[in-house]
Chain A
Amino acid sequence: MKPAAFEYIIPESLDHLLQIKAEHGDEAKPLAGGQSLIPAMNFRMARPSLLVDLNRLPELAWLHVKDGELQVGTMTRMAELQHNPTVAAHVPLIAETVPHIAHPQIRNRGSVGGNLAHADPASELPVVAVALGARFRAISASGERWIPAHEFFLGTFTTSLQPQEILLEVTFPTRQDRTGYAFAEVARRHGDYAMAGVVAVVSLNAQGQCDSAQLVYLNAGDSPTPAVTAAAMLIGNSGTPAAITAAAQHASMEEIAPYGNLHASTEFQRHLARHLTQQALKTAFERARAEFLPHP
C-alpha cells in the first residue's frame, strides 16, 4: 500500500459529482486518468482525503467539431486526441503535439482535462491551448463559466478553477486559412519531459506578410510562457531568415525564464529554445504559405 488511505466515490451522474464538489471543495479530488495524480499519491506528495472517480461517467468523454471549434470533453483520453482523424483534420497542431506527451501506455489512460487541470509547466497541451486561444468550460453546482486559456494557468500546478468547480470541456479554434502551426521540443528520450519546447503559429495576409504570430514555450517559467514581443517582431515580415533569427534570439534571451535543472542548465534551455524557435517558425511560415488557398 503506497498511497495514504482515502475515501473513494464513483459519482452516479455529473449532478452528483457537482454536489460532491459543492460539499467538499478541494478535499474532493477528481480522479481523471490518474497519470499525474497517482504517482504523486504513490510518493505521498498528494494525500487527498476523498477521490471522486470520473472514469465511470461516459458523458465526460467525447469530442466533435462545431461552430469552428474542436470541442473536447474533459475525460477524452490523450490516445483518442492523437488518433481521431477529426483532430488531425481540424487542429493539426494537436495531432502533431500529442505524440510527444509521455508514452503510449500513459496516453491510453491520461485524459485531456486531467492534463490541463494539472497545469504542469513542462506539459505540452497547455502550451498548445494558450497558443491557439483555447477556452475552458468550468462547471459547479451553482453554474458554469468559460475561462480563456491565458487566464486558466496561474502557475505551477495552479489554475483559476475554484474549489467547487471541475473542468468540463475545452475548445480549440480549428485551423485558419493562410495560417501555419508548428510544434518542436527537445527531450533526452522521446516521451520524457522536454528540456525546451515551443509552439509557433503564423498567419499571413493576402500579400504573404505575417499579420499575426504566436510563440508559446513549455518549461520556460511557472506556466505556458508567451513571447509576445518576439512574435510582434514578425508582423509585416514574410518569414525571412533574418527576421526569424532575431525573433528567436529575443524570445530565448529576453522573454522566457527557464529554471534549469539536472538535465539542462538555464543557459542550455535558452540555447535549445532559440534553435527550436527558428525551426518551428520556419516550419510555420512554410505551412502558412502552403495554406495560401482557402482550405476546403
Chain B
Amino acid sequence: MITFTTTINGKSYTRTVEARLLLSDFLRHECGLTGTHVGCEQGACGACTILLDGQAVRSCLMFAVQAEGHAITTVEGLSDDPKNLHPLQQAFRDEHALQCGFCTPGILMSMVPFLAENPTPDEATIREALSGNYCRCTGYQHIVCAIQRAAGVKPKNAHPE
C-alpha cells in the first residue's frame, strides 16, 4: 500500500491505496467523484478524461499514486452550482448536446482545454478534436453545435431559441 497526496478540484486528498489502483477508479470509489465515467479502460472511448495540471489525459491510463503532487480537475470542478454552469456545460444544455450523457464528462474535460487553446475553431478542427471521445448515441452534430456556441460562433444547425 502506498500513501500519497493529490489535489482534486482544489481540495487536497491523502489516501493509502494499492499501486495498481487506476486513477479513474480512485476518483470514483475512493473520492466519490462519480462524474468521471469509465468506459473502455483502454484509452479509446475518452469517457474518463480529466485534467492533469490543466492538460486532458485519460484517467484510466494512469495509476492513482502517479497523481502525487499534481492538480487534477474532474467534471465536478467545472461548476458546483446547477444554476450557474460552466459556459461549455450551458452550451451543451442549450444545444441538447447529450442524450444518455455517459460520454459528456469526458467530452467536456477534453473540450475545455481545447477551447482555451483554440478560441475560434472551425468545424473541421472541432471534429478532429472530438476524435478521442466516443458518443455511442452518435449525437455528434449537437455536440459540435454546442462547442461552436461556447466558442461564440453561431452554429449552422443551431437549436432554435
Interface residues of A (CB under 8 A from B): 1-8, 34-35, 38-39, 41-43, 51, 53, 55, 79, 102-106, 108-109, 189-191
Within the assembled complex, what's the spacing in Å between the Cα atoms of A103 and B131? Answer: 7
Task: Decide if A106 touches B43 in the complex (CB within 8 Å).
Answer: yes
Chain B at the A interface: SS class: mixed
Within the assembled complex, what's the spacing in Å between the Cα atoms of A191 and B44? Answer: 10
Assess whether B20 is interfacial by the CB under 8 Å rule: yes
Within the assembled complex, what's the spacing in Å between the Cα atoms of A179 and B66? Answer: 43
Assess whether B135 is interfacial by the CB under 8 Å rule: no
Task: Decide if A1 touches B20 in the complex (CB within 8 Å).
Answer: yes
Task: Decide if A104 touches B110 in the complex (CB within 8 Å).
Answer: yes
Within the assembled complex, what's the spacing in Å between the Cα atoms of A7 and B129? Answer: 36
Task: Decide if A105 touches B20 in the complex (CB within 8 Å).
Answer: no
Within the assembled complex, what's the spacing in Å between the Cα atoms of A159 and B132? Answer: 29
Chain A: minimal CB distance from B45 (Å): 11
Chain B: minimal CB distance from A262 (Å): 15
Interface centre among B2, B42, B46, B129 (most CB of A within 10 A): B42
Assess whether B58 is interfacial by the CB under 8 Å rule: yes
Residue of B whose beta carbon sits closest to that of A189: B131
Q: Which residues of A contact B60 (CB under 8 A)?
A: 38, 42
Chain B: minimal CB distance from A232 (Å): 37
Chain B: minimal CB distance from A98 (Å): 14
* Cross-interface CB contact of B22 among A2, A6, A102, cutoff 8 Å: A2
Residue of B whose beta carbon sits closest to that of A7: B19
Task: Decide if B41 touches A42 in the complex (CB within 8 Å).
Answer: yes
Take A5-B20, A8-B2, A109-B58 as given contacts and tell me if A102 and B132 are in contact as well, using a CB distance cutoff of 8 Å: yes
13 contacts between A and B (CB under 8 A): A1-B20, A2-B25, A3-B20, A8-B65, A38-B60, A39-B41, A39-B42, A105-B56, A106-B132, A108-B52, A109-B52, A109-B61, A109-B62
Q: Which residues of B contact A104 (CB under 8 A)?
A: 56, 110, 114, 129, 132
Q: Which residues of B contact A102 (CB under 8 A)?
A: 43, 132
Q: Which residues of A contact B19 (CB under 8 A)?
A: 5-8, 51
Residue of A whose beta carbon sits closest to that of B132: A103
Q: Which residues of A contact B43 (CB under 8 A)?
A: 35, 38-39, 102, 105-106
Interface residues of B (CB under 8 A from A): 2, 18-22, 25, 41-43, 46, 49, 52, 55-58, 60-63, 65-66, 110, 114, 128-129, 131-132
* Cross-interface CB contact of B57 among A4, A7, A109, A190, cutoff 8 Å: A109
Within the assembled complex, what's the spacing in Å between the Cα atoms of A39 and B39? Answer: 12
Take A1-B18, A105-B110, A190-B128 as given contacts and tell me if A55 and B66 are in contact as well, using a CB distance cutoff of 8 Å: yes
Task: Decide if A35 touches B131 in the complex (CB within 8 Å).
Answer: no
Task: Decide if B58 touches A106 in the complex (CB within 8 Å).
Answer: yes
Residue of A whose beta carbon sits closest to that of B2: A8
Within the assembled complex, what's the spacing in Å between the Cα atoms of A7 and B61? Answer: 17
Chain B: minimal CB distance from A96 (Å): 15
Chain A: minimal CB distance from B140 (Å): 11
Residue of A whose beta carbon sits closest to that of B50: A105
Within the assembled complex, what's the spacing in Å between the Cα atoms of A102 and B25? Answer: 23
Chain B: minimal CB distance from A229 (Å): 36
Task: Decide if A39 touches B61 in the complex (CB within 8 Å).
Answer: yes
Interface centre among B2, B52, B58 (most CB of A within 10 A): B58
Within the assembled complex, what's the spacing in Å between the Cα atoms of A51 and B2? Answer: 14
Given A34-B61, A103-B46, A109-B58, 20 extra CB contacts under 8 A: A2-B25, A35-B43, A38-B43, A39-B41, A39-B43, A39-B61, A102-B132, A104-B114, A104-B129, A104-B132, A105-B49, A105-B56, A105-B110, A106-B58, A106-B61, A106-B132, A108-B55, A108-B57, A109-B61, A191-B132
